[in-house]
Amino acid sequence: MLRTLFAVVAVSGSLQAAGAAAEPFYDAALCKPAYTMDSATALYEAAEKLAKPDTSLLTAYVYKLPQDLGQDGFKTNEVVFAGTSVGVLVQGQQAEALAQRYQLQRERSSLMGASTKGYARELPPNEQPQPDAGTVSIVARESAALPGKTLLACEFVTKEDRAALEAYEKSKSQ
């Protein structure tokens, strides 16, 4: 999970036919459908056909769209693939507004300082694609590394990674 959480990859370029081609990316950030390796791979392959990766951000792949998309009053023009997450970078510092709109709860962890403000909501048990392996959640996070933007993503976290992060947070508080 830790490498998943910190591996925000950005790819810039122009996506052709952004309207119809981009809608699935925003839906995917809202876990529609819930994250699976197959769904993420299909989205990644679609993005790769539309744009070339910008590797200047080292481990981040953000596909820059030529026009805004979004819903519920939130706008974005960037699609993000990060380890076992897929999402969008919403314009502005919107974590609290996204949390209110999508019923997200404040995260207990700052992800080792990577998140300045974070909210999450696990999908209900009947929507978890691999409950024995881990948990899929909708997350909204602000970070100093993403000024003027908020990550909205569907994230899969393995049970082992969650346990490691919880152990780290517990050791910090002692």
- Residues constituting the chain: 174
Number of domains in the chain: 1
pLDDT at 3 over 90: no
- Answer whether 0.85 is exceeded by the pTM: no
Cβ proximity of 132 and 157 under 8 Å:
no
Q: What tens digit of pLDDT does each residue of 25-57 get?
A: 899 999 998 888 898 889 888 878 777 666 655
Residue 59's pLDDT is what? 60
pLDDT at 99 over 80: yes
What range does the domain containing 35 cover? 2-173
pLDDT at 14 over 80: no
pLDDT at 18 over 60: no
Residue 65's pLDDT is what? 78
Provide the pLDDT confidence category of residue 70 given band limits of 50, 70 and 90: confident
Classify each residue of 128-138 as buried b or exposed e, where b means 16 or more C-beta atoms within 10 Å of its C-beta: bbeeeebbbbb
Residue 69's pLDDT is what? 85
**Whole-angstrom distance, CA of residue 146 vs CA of residue 128:** 29
Lowest mean pLDDT among 47-56, 75-84, 150-159: 47-56
Burial class (CB in 10 A: 0-12, 13-18, 19+), 162: middle
Residue 54's pLDDT is what? 62
Compute, in degrees rounded to 10, the torsion defined by CA atoms 127, 65, 69, 33: -10
